[in-house]
Chains A and B, each alone.
Chain A
Amino acid sequence: MDQVIETSKSVLSWEYSFLVFVAVLGVIQVAAANSGLKGLLFAPGAVRIRFWPFRRRWTLTSIHFSYLFAAVTVLPALGFFFVWNSHNATGIIQGSEQAGLFVLSTAAGGIFSLFASSFINQWRLQSNKTRAQGLEALKEVTWYQAVWRRWVRNSNES
């Protein structure tokens, strides 16, 4: 019996972590699109698209993509949390564990976003001129490019 309870707690923790991870990905995309951090976007370009049966073509920009992405990540995740107590009547994750899982999942979501966006944008963003520091640099380069230029190339040159 104890083992069953432990297993279900473990499943709940994974479920919680996964939902937070997914929601964080969506929030970062919307925030990055709104603040112009192109280096953080998963879909940085714009495409013209025609939705059947309409004849008109729409231009989908990175902001549209980010909101679409958020709609399929943040909203379902929050929906799950909205009905959590009614689905898991005894599914309580203790406050301290919850805080730890949230921080870990948010960090995982942030790190995944940094690496995935760096990979997706590595040929698109190639600015050599940026002098911006911190997140501001991600308006012109990817996170990997920024870190590599500052910490690897500069140390090799010196």
Chain B
Amino acid sequence: MSLDLRLFSWINGLGGHVPALDRLVSGLADDYFMIIAMCLVLVGMWFGTREAAERARNQMAVLKAMASLGIASGFVAWANVIFVGDNKFPGTSLHEIFNRSRPFVQLGPTVVHGFYQPTDPSFPSNLAAVVFGLALAIWLMNKRWGTWLLGMAFVACFARVYVGIHYPSDILGGFAFAVAGVAAAYFLFWALSPLVKLLKWILKALYLAG
């Protein structure tokens, strides 16, 4: 049995015993809950710092996090367009990886605990790409908030494996897309720094930032 499958079996095997715990974890694995909670943290970071200099730094981190989130999600969508489909690179390992079925298709519906059964391929986890993209971008500029957000991202991804809709390797794939998204976002902010400065100036002049 592969390490991926063993890890999946261990995490997923925690479920199905206590219905209340399954309901709790299913809420944490929800398509919306954790992403929105994390985005609300970004809104809080935008306004919620007493020192102006630190607030400005947090606002830059928030802008980078939003860009990372968008780019990482875009990378996943792009990869799906390129690799997902019966006629896309047939017979190659890329085809196998990107067209892999969800765990409940391979292992049976009993692995799903209190969650609906998505119909799209399993790899990569879009949620992992989004939440880790957001959290890593913040962590690079603000360790305190970044650590909290990374914790939230980890919980959401753990929950997705627990409820049986992703393998751990899907999460790892999403994480890789997140790293690429963060790198691209930071590069874009560096390359477009005059535009970023202009945006900051406009927001500050309108009393919306700074």
Contact = CB atoms under 8 A, between A and B. Distances in A.
Judge: A and B partners, yes or no: yes
Interface in B24-69: 26-28, 30-33, 36-37, 39-40, 43-50, 52, 55-56, 69
B40 A37 contact: no
Given A32-B47, A135-B207, A136-B210, A74 B30 contact: no
A102 interface: yes
Contacts of A98: 32
Contacts of B116: 85, 89-90
B137 to A, nearest CB: 15
* Chain B contact residues, majority secondary structure: helix
B51 to A, nearest CB: 9
Interface residues of A, number: 44
B88 interface: no
A31 B43 contact: yes
Contacts of B27: 82-83, 86
A34 B48 contact: yes
Contact of B32 (A32, A40, A81): A81
A90 B56 CA distance: 41
B49 A23 contact: no
Interface stretch (A3-11, A51-59, A121-129, A142-150): A142-150
A35 B30 contact: no
Contacts of B183: none
Contacts of B209: 134-135
A86 B50 contact: no
Interface string A28-69: 101110111100100000000000000000000000000000
B122 interface: no
A117 to B, nearest CB: 11
Interface in A4-27: 16, 20, 23-24, 27
Interface in A107-158: 110, 132-138, 143, 146-147, 150
B47 A102 contact: no
Nearest to A83: B27
Contacts of B46: 31
Contact of B207 (A28, A86, A90, A147): A147
Nearest to B117: A89
A84 B48 contact: no
Interface of A: 16, 20, 23-24, 27-28, 30-32, 34-37, 40, 74, 78, 81-86, 89-90, 92-93, 95-96, 98-99, 102, 106, 110, 132-138, 143, 146-147, 150
